[in-house]
A = this chain, B = another copy of it.
Amino acid sequence: MREPAYTLTAGPTGGWPSVEAAMGAPLVYDYDPVFLERFARTERKVAEIFRTSGDVVMMQGEAVLGLEAAARGLVRPGMTALNLVSGVYAKWFGLWLAEYGANLVEVEVPYDEAVPVEAVAKALEDHPETAMVSVVHSETPSGILNPLREIAEVVRAHGALMVVDAVSSLAGEELDVDGWGIDLCVAGPQKCLAGPPGMSLIAVGERAWEAIRDNPGAPRGSFLSLLDWKERWIDGGRTAFPYTPSIVDVAGVEAACDVVLGMGLDASIAMHRRAARATRAGVTGMGLGLWARDAAAATSCVTAVRSPDGVGVVDALTHIRSRYGVMLSPGYGELKERLIRLGHMGPAADSLTPVVALSALGRGMADLGVEVDIGDGLEAALAELAEAA
């Protein structure tokens, strides 16, 4: 099969040309002076996008690594951990919390809704001993966005550590690590940042470092150790790595940061929001249904569409990929056959590309006999794209 003409998925998403070019550049030694400088410089750029003046740890391995590292570093047996669940990824995180010995408390909502801030407040009231609260900012599997700013405010008032999975939202949604008082925030480069899949970008504040250092079970001498990076690289003066970093991924992440900072972080977020609005307008304009019950709970990263009755999602996507060269995503896990996800992250959120995803969806559905008003949907989407951000 030919390479796809368009990768408009839930991620990894296609990269900007400058990101791809950076990854094709000559490999250098990790202790070459140009690489040591590049690594430190990239940390600062990532920190700027996190809006933090604290530490950024860049570990090699997709964001699941960073999430596992965070959980292992923070959880002490018997501590109470409040986990907010509006999707699959949060559910998984809870499994780790429990496995590592936390007394797990969960606020769970149906996966087409966001976690209400009131429920968080209530849970903290019910469990005043809560030591940490974890939440997924943007649930890519189902396209749900949680009201992070409000949640963080409540958590900060309570005093628990705020731990955030911002894997897909970094650079695509408002996120202010320092301003909102987030203690530990894990992001991935392969979503709205539109870099390569392969790193965990982790903002770690002082309160989180303290908690990890105080945790006798926090990994050391392990690929999963945040402390190894803190002690050897960061506090060691940024001259020695605990593990060999990926020359290629770091180059890609820096280039991706340069794109975002070049257009401006606000502009990047606005671009993602506009693409999401256009996509939602397109979907409903065609007569198809959105998964999110409420547009306010829909993330700007990916739009989840309810699959029409009688349509096999995997078969439909296979048809669209082979006939039109456009790669979309099915649902994830148990939702696999119930959702079609249109990604609009990075280049997929730029220009008129959301129209390509919608055209593929609409025409693909029509090919399968679904009645859709393709023209109305595309026209509605273009009207949104024509708006100033």
Chain A residues packing against B (C-beta within 8 Å): 1-7, 9, 11-15, 17, 19-21, 23-34, 37, 60-62, 64-65, 68, 95-96, 99, 190, 196-198, 221-224, 243-249, 252, 263, 321, 323-327, 329, 347, 350-353, 355-356, 359-360, 362-363, 366-367, 373-379, 382, 385-386
Known A-B contacts A28-B4, A62-B60, A375-B376; the reply to A198 vs B352 at CB < 8 A is: no
Which residues of chain B are within 8 angstroms of A324 by Cβ–Cβ distance?
351-352, 385
B64 touches A223 (CB 8 A): yes
A224 touches B221 (CB 8 A): no
Q: Complex Cα distance A76/B294, Å?
A: 50
Q: Smallest Cβ distance from A52 to chain B, in angstroms? A: 24
B367 touches A359 (CB 8 A): no
A31 touches B350 (CB 8 A): no
Q: Smallest Cβ distance from A375 to chain B, in angstroms? A: 3
Which residues of chain B are within 8 angstroms of A321 by Cβ–Cβ distance?
32-33
A7 touches B29 (CB 8 A): yes
Q: Complex Cα distance A191/B62, Å?
A: 22
Neighbour of A4 across the interface among B29, B30, B62, B223, CB < 8 A = B29
Q: Smallest Cβ distance from A226 to chain B, in angstroms? A: 13
Which residues of chain B are within 8 angstroms of A351 by Cβ–Cβ distance?
5-6, 324-326, 356
**Nearest-neighbor residue (CB-CB) of A220 within chain B:** B99
Which residues of chain B are within 8 angstroms of A375 by Cβ–Cβ distance?
373-379
Q: Complex Cα distance A96/B224, Å?
A: 13
B34 touches A3 (CB 8 A): yes
